[in-house]
Amino acid sequence: MGGKKVLVIGGGAAGMMAALTAAEAGHAVTLLEKNGKTGKKLLMTGNGRCNVTNACDIETLLDHVVSGRNFLYSAVYSFSNQDMIRFLAESGLETKVEDHLRVFPVTDRAADVLRVLEERMRRAGVRVRTGTAVRELQIDGVCRGVVLGNGDRLEADVTILAAGGKSVPGTGSTGDGYRMAEAAGHTIRPLRPALAPFVIREGWIRELQGRVFGDVRLTVAGDSRRKLYDGRGEVLFTHFGISGPMVLAAGSYCAEALEKLKELSARMDFFPDTPAAELEKHFLQLLNENGKKQIATVFAMLAPKPLVPVLLKKNGIREDLRAGELPRGARQALLGDLKSMSLTVSGLRGFKEAMITQGGVSLDEVDPVTMESLLVKGLRFAGEVLDLDALTGGYNLQIAWSTGHAAGSGIE
């Protein structure tokens, strides 16, 4: 039992895990949260159901990390997805595994995950101070604690900075952690919204707003056609562009290139299992067999229904044109849109909508086992404030649990 004084800045997933881990090890822990309550963002996760982790094997889990895979090795092996599932079960909250091995509480309530964390903190004796914003770290060679927004100074042997990122700032994640880490001498890797939807330049796609296509292949390329993303999944059209889990994932891989190049080219294949030649053969057959019918009717025998009026209009084809009269060029254009619809990605939606922040405290300056600063003694980090991010599926919360656990462990 060390009995050290520990301060945790931020009552999100990572901060709460760090606090209860340190307190269960016998330290005197105070958690400082600027909101009126802890876990505001946690309550929003998984649409209020909390996709708490992913049940895949650890190597697969690490493969879903976009930035910081190697850094996470030790933390994730020390406190894994299975450890998190056990942690919840021991605390009376069973979990269930859904599609893509996503893990949710059986109750489907993020509030129950928060309740477990709060209960474990209470039992371990963590002092939780809500409505308490930290203004800065107290540093004179080593970290000695914090200065609060009201000017009060709190002393500590160890301070754990778990103030989150910049995404969805209404939850309290307003980037304070980056500012404090930078003031302590840390490098902040460029901050970008990630797991954010694509803004698409072509105005005609607005006509597809609200439409969902279940199985689309999406490829995104930068300059000289360098492929940045190639995936398959659901696409949702919105008033600004496209979204859905696959698009969010693509956003994470494209954020840096998009910032540099300002525009990327995307292609969508609505028939990923059908070669272009086969699709053309099928279309020709439909046109031949139904030559007297309207093109809108015949095209709907091939294409997903919501695409029909939009693609006909886009290509300047009258809906009442006889199918047999469709010019070759127009046929090729329609097939081109189905197999390789070309779109221009002009941006990502910003931090207000991004699920996470890419970039943060440089991992070169942090011990991957203890999350201790390699620059300032007495300072540790946990969660999204670090230059870590992953795809959707429970991986980002697992990063928070694993790094939070590491930061709260081994305090001597």
Ligand X SMILES: Cc1cc2nc3c(=O)[nH]c(=O)nc-3n(C[C@H](O)[C@H](O)[C@H](O)COP(=O)(O)OP(=O)(O)OC[C@H]3O[C@@H](n4cnc5c(N)ncnc54)[C@H](O)[C@@H]3O)c2cc1C
- Residues in contact with ligand X by CB under 6 A are 9-15, 32-35, 40-42, 44-46, 50-51, 133-134, 162-164, 167-168, 171-173, 176, 355-356, 383-384, 394-397, 400
Contact, 321 vs 312, CB < 8 A? Answer: no
Shortest reach from residue 387's CB to ligand X, in Å: 12
Q: Which of 124, 149, 148, 151 is nearest to 16 (CA)?
A: 124
Q: Which is nearer to ligand X, 104 or 271 (CB)?
A: 104
Shortest reach from residue 136's CB to ligand X, in Å: 9
Q: Which is nearer to ligand X, 19 or 308 (CB)?
A: 19
Integer Cα distance of 10 and 107 in angstroms:
26
Shortest reach from residue 55's CB to ligand X, in Å: 13
Q: Which of 114, 137, 131, 123 is nearest to 7 (CA)?
A: 137
Shortest reach from residue 163's CB to ligand X, in Å: 4
Shortest reach from residue 237's CB to ligand X, in Å: 20
Q: Which is nearer to ligand X, 101 or 133 (CB)?
A: 133
Shortest reach from residue 130's CB to ligand X, in Å: 9
SS3 (DSSP) at 194: strand
Any residues with CB less than 8 A from the CB of 23 and at least 6 apart, and which? Answer: 6, 29, 121, 124, 125, 126, 408
Which tokens hold the place of 286?
A: 């439909």
Which tokens hold the place of 128?
A: 């939780």
DSSP tag of 47: G
Contact, 177 vs 10, CB < 8 A? Answer: yes
Q: Which of 359, 368, 366 is nearest to 402 (CA)?
A: 368
Q: Which is nearer to ligand X, 44 or 191 (CB)?
A: 44
Shortest reach from residue 139's CB to ligand X, in Å: 15
SS3 (DSSP) at 56: coil
- The helix or strand, by DSSP H or E, that contains position 116, with its residue range, turns out to be helix 110-124
